[in-house]
Each structure stands twice: as structure tokens, then as C-alpha cells.
Structure 1
Amino acid sequence: MIGIANKDSIAYGCAKAFHAEGAELAVSYLNAKAEPYVRPLAEGLNASIVEPLDVRVPGQLEALFERVRKDWGRLDFLVHAIAFAPMADLHGRVVDSSWDGFAQAMDISCHSFVRMAKLAEPLMDKGGALLTMSYIGAAKAMRDYGMMGAVKSTLESCVRYMALELGEKGIRVNAISPGPIRTRASGGLKNFDASIEDAAAKAPLPLAGIDDVGALAAFLASDGARAITGQTCYVDGGYSIVG
């Protein structure tokens, strides 16, 4: 479970849903500063593996998967729920984005999922499910989402290509696209309060929360979703059909 920062994290909503279904969990935390917020949540989920993971630090990702290999021998599912862009680039125009900022956002928010898929592949010898988190800004140009929209669009494309490549091994790859949810990460978006108010006003149903995302994630990892791969699955109260 990659991406838990606190109790409001989408990844935590997913972790709770998997735990309720009886899954044994591995949970990562970003660094020593984040550990006091994440470890109690992991302990509450009876996570048997709790390890640091900053995908920018060489070797940490490989060390986490090696721990999974040694302790479990295989892996059934993986949830990738991390994203980052430097504030100046995130709040600016796409055409003004810096090379360094764009590259960093792409590496952390997108290519890290590709790297995780490569490491997970040999551990999913009986098939498995790889899940990542996107947003409607990947499919539509949304004001104030800027550069991250381009990054998430690339992430969704990677989902489709990895689904094509890994399907013969029974590994399914899907993206989940929640509507706007108040999390630590979303707090960095410009005019986010206005965005969530607009979405709530337009959506035919109440906007989704982290538990709704978790329910979808648990389904997509289950045998009930055995014929679903390469998709971006919206869980947003219907905002995507009118937004």
C-alpha cells in the first residue's frame, strides 16, 4: 500500500477496505517525519510489513519489494497512490513549467508506478492486480490542475500499455479516478475549495470519499473484476459525466 500519509489519505481508504476483506498488508511511509502519522494506522490494520519508501531514494523501492519477496514469496495486489509536483510548476501554466519540475512530477507520479509494476511482475506468478490513482484532469483540461493533468494523462496511458503487456500473465492493471477529495495532497492545488464546491454542485450523486475509493479498489483486486483491465474507473458521484 503505497501512499498513506494520514487518516485522510486515499491510500488509507483502500487499505481499510482490503483489511476488511482479510488481506495481509504491506504499508510504506515517506520518511521519518511521516512515520509517526503512518505507523499507528498500519498497526491498526495489522500490517505485517511497514517500511520507508521515497521513490526518489535509490534502492528503497527495490528494498521494499525484496522484503515482500522474503516474507511472503508473492504479491496479489499493489496500490500506487503517490503524486508530486513542485508548487511553482503546479500553480503555473503548463507552457511555463520547468524541465526539472516536469521531470520530477513525471518520475514520482507516473514512472514510479511503472517501476513498481516491473518489480511486482515476478511476484505475481499466479496473476494479480496493479492499481493507481488518477483524476478527471487527465481526460479533460481542468482549470488549476495544469501540469499534473498532463502527468496523469501519461499515467493512464501507461496503465493501458502495461495492461496489454502483462495480461498474458494474468496481471490486471487499472486506474481509479476519484472526484475531488480533501486530502493532504489536494490541499496543494490552487483554488481547490472552489473546485470541490463546483463538483459537488454538478455531480448527480454525493462526491466520493476515501471509503468509496477503497471499495472500488477492493473490487478491482478481486476475482469479480477478473475481466477488467486497462481501464480508468471513475468513482466521483458522476461528476465526470457533467464536469
Structure 2
Amino acid sequence: MCGPGLRLEQRPVTKRRVLLGLIPNPAKGVGLERARLIAAGALAVVAMLAFGLIMTLPERVDVSPTALSVARLDEFAADAPACRAALAANGFETAAVPDVDGAGRCGYTGAVELTRAAHSFSEPMVSSCALAAGLALWERDVVDAAAARHLHQRVARIELAGETYTCRPVAGRRDRRLSEHAFANAVDIRGFTLEDGRVITVAQGWRGRREDRAFLRAVRDGACRHFQAVLSPDYNRAHRDHLHFDLGRDKMCR
């Protein structure tokens, strides 16, 4: 107890909050400005960690029954009805064609004619449904963008280099291995007709005008993301006048 006449001096108590235990109490000699800098640094570290987490998340892939994507082409090769359903759901039209039992191992089952796509074709586009889906995706995702960038107009028609189905071996191979054309699983493209009526052919345009060269290489390079084998005049003389796309077993882009 305090005796009479004695006064007990009380010091005022100052309450301060410490952020996450990282900011020292300014009353202990650390300035308020320094505390703010420490807090800002801590928040920056948290933001960077969050950004890194977001960037490492796997890309979302649409696996719905109506999805049309390159990731589903293997599935479509084994399931033509699913392939046709996905094409139809995305605005493309197909018609079933009769199966072909050709000589030896040649022939196909479950093939379709691509009757409505982003562009018209110079002749009926009959192939495996998976190849038709790959071609439709390539038209939609590659051809128009390349034409707009390099030619400043749209493609009106794709010029095919003959029928997609031909019972023959791979050109230039001594082992006589069958071409993917023998299974309607390949397509050859000889050129493109533009909206203004001008025709760009692979034979003339590959080493022709600068814009034609750039366009043809852009559609060739883009096709490499949609097909297994993509062959151009850069591959060999047998492909000097057309682009070859197929969904066979060999992965090539030349």
C-alpha cells in the first residue's frame, strides 16, 4: 500500500498490432516507415507465390461428348459415331459412305464425306472420320488466320490433289509399305483458291511470291499440330506439288 501523500505514477499503455508477427513494435525503435516496407515486401512475396501456383495449374481440356479438339483424334479413330457427333455439334456436316474392301489390306470402314466445313473442296472429301475432324480443325484454327495475316483475304476453296483413297504403297519406299491413302486416312492438297479468284498452288507458290511462300509455310506448320505426318516440298521431290497430311503411325513435320 502507498502511504498518505505518496502518488503512484502510472505509464500509459499503448496498444499496437503486429502484422503476421513480421512488423516489430515501433515503440522498440523501429520506425513506422520501415514497418510499412516490411509489410509491403511480405505481401509481394505472397502475391508471387500465388501467381506461380496459378501458372503451374494444368490446362483445362474439354472432354465433353461434343468437344472437338486435336486431343480427341485418337478417340475418333476408334469411334466414328462420337466423331460425327462432335463434328455436328460444332457446325460441321458429314455423310456416311459405304465401306470399301479393297485388294489386300486396302480399304476402310466408317468413313465419311465432309460435306460442310469452313471452306468448300474441289472434289468430294471422303476419309476416315478422324482425318475429317483433323482437317476441319486445321481449316478453322489455321487456314483462315494464315490467309488473313499473309494474304489479307479469306480462302474460298481448298484444292485437293486427287482422291483421298488410293490403294498404293508409300511413294519412294522399297519395302512397299502401304500409304495411309490405302485406308482413306490421308489427304493431299495442291492449292487454295482465294476470295478474289486467285489460285495459290503448292507447285508454284512454295518458291513464288513472298506472301504466297509465307502463307503456304504457315498452313504447313499449323498442320503439324493437327496431324501425325505433314509432308511438303521440303520433304522430297514426290511432294513438290502438294501438301500431304495423314493420321498414321509416323510423326513427321517437313
TM normalised by structure 2 equals 0.26
Tell which has more relative contact order, 1 or 2 (C-alpha 8 A, sep 6+). Answer: 1
TM normalised by structure 1 equals 0.26
Bigger radius of gyration? 2
Higher strand share: 2
